[in-house]
Amino acid sequence: METDSQGRVGTGTSGIGEHGPAALAQRDLARRAGVSHAAPTPHFRDKTGLLTAVAVQGYEVLGDALAEAAHTGDFAEVGVAYVLFADTHPGHFSVMFRPDLYRADDPDLATARSRTTALLRDGARARFANRDRVRALTAWSLVHGLATLVRDGAVTPEPGTDLESLARAVTHSLTAGTALR
């Protein structure tokens, strides 16, 4: 069952996805939710509180997607899941990697972010060797960059293909080693 706070976070993420995090305001959130302008205040003290909740929720949903993809045993699929998450959750994605927007010391955020980071780190270590931090950072940079380029409209899949196919081709080139040669 969705709580009032979760519903308001969902309403907030749709506004962020459309206009970016800078444009989000408590009044806009209330208008979108169909409640009075003061209604969000008990749930989130301020805009930073709302954006912290958006980041927490984003890391939780991304973590679930990465965990599911990790079960395939193919690290490239974790990268595909990352890119698809960014495409289907643009509001969350726009906030999650911007610690200037939220309370980075929030305990719920730390827990959700740690889980997601561990899934990425452990998958990269298994694929690229235990201590190859450069390759792990390369993998994250590749999928984050692709996700950002797609979100911003700078890259689109070829006609007749989809984002999942594009992401799979890019991530498989990395795990096959061709992206690093």
pLDDT at 38: 52
Distance of CA 87 to the CA centre of its chain: 9
pLDDT for the residue 11: 55
Residue ranges and CATH numbers for the domains of the chain are 47-180 (1.10.357.10)
Model pTM score: 0.80
**What averages of pLDDT result for each successive group of 10 residues across the chain (181 residues)?**
50 63 59 47 70 92 96 92 96 92 95 94 79 80 95 91 94 69 41
Residue 38 burial by Cβ neighbours in a 10 Å radius (0-12, 13-18, 19+):
exposed
